[in-house]
């Protein structure tokens, strides 16, 4: 598609490129860990900077260093990856069939429907456990998305990590 617009007497041609890249979804394995950690770190650094200060971002993203926890997540939770052309574009985890532990979309793939699809698939997985409610601890940045998807705030939480306060929200959604 091509469109020409006029701004301050200057003609600008806008060309929109569309691709046929499709998103595939699969369960994570230990070999996905480095790419998942990179996505986590870069997404927090870039996407959350309008809602958290530099110190909060640094403390939050330092969670990437806890490799033992990351391996535990991959090995004990349902970890769903979204991929486009062999690149992880997002992931979400479901703990105990009813708690979203981690939920991130790559900084370069925001607002493309990836989060919607990951969340839909996590809700389907939760239904397999006959969960009636799904819960999550949601960042300030992600709160509007989760509200749009039917989650309600149960409590604002003020977490202290490495002597730095991080605000997030305990949210839940009834599945049935």
Contacts of 73 (CB under 8 A, 6+ apart): 79, 93, 95, 101, 102
Domain boundaries, the chain: 26-174
**DSSP assignment, residue 174?**
E
* pLDDT for the residue numbered 17: 37
* pLDDT for the residue numbered 120: 97
Backbone phi, then psi, for 21, in 5-degree steps?
A: -70, 130
Residue range 26-174 in CATH 3.40.10.10: no
C-alpha 146/C-alpha 148 separation (Å) is 5
Q: Pseudo-torsion of CA 69, 70, 74, 79, nearest 10°?
A: 120
Distances (CA, A) of 13 to 6, 8, 17, 61: 9, 14, 13, 39
Contacts of 130 (CB under 8 A, 6+ apart): none
* pLDDT for the residue numbered 54: 96
Contacts of 107 (CB under 8 A, 6+ apart): 42, 43, 45, 46, 47
- pLDDT by residue, tens only, the chain of 176 residues: 445 455 555 655 554 433 457 899 999 999 999 999 999 999 999 999 999 999 999 999 999 999 999 999 999 999 999 999 999 999 999 999 999 999 999 999 999 999 999 999 999 999 999 999 999 999 999 999 999 999 999 999 999 988 999 999 999 999 98
End-to-end CA distance of the chain: 42
- Report helix angle 54-61 to 33-47, nearest 10: 170
* pLDDT for the residue numbered 176: 81
C-alpha 106/C-alpha 109 separation (Å) is 5
pTM of the model: 0.85
């Amino acid at each position: 598609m091509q469109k020409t617009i006029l701004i301050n007497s200057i003609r600008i041609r806008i060309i929109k490129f569309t691709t046929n890249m499709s998103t595939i979804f699969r369960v994570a394995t230990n070999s996905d860990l480095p790419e998942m950690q990179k996505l986590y770190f870069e997404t927090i650094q870039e996407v959350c900077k309008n809602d958290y200060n530099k110190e909060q971002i640094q403390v939050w993203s330092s969670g990437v260093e806890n490799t033992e926890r990351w391996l535990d997540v991959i090995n004990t939770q349902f970890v769903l990856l979204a991929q486009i052309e062999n690149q992880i574009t997002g992931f979400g985890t479901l703990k105990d069939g009813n708690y979203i532990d981690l939920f991130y979309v790559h900084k370069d793939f925001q607002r493309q429907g990836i989060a919607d699809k990951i969340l839909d698939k996590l809700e389907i997985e939760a239904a397999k456990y006959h969960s009636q409610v799904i819960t999550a601890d949601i960042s300030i940045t992600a709160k509007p998305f989760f509200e749009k998807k039917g989650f309600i705030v149960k409590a604002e939480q003020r977490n202290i990590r490495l002597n730095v306060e991080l605000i997030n929200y305990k949210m839940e959604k009834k599945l049935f």
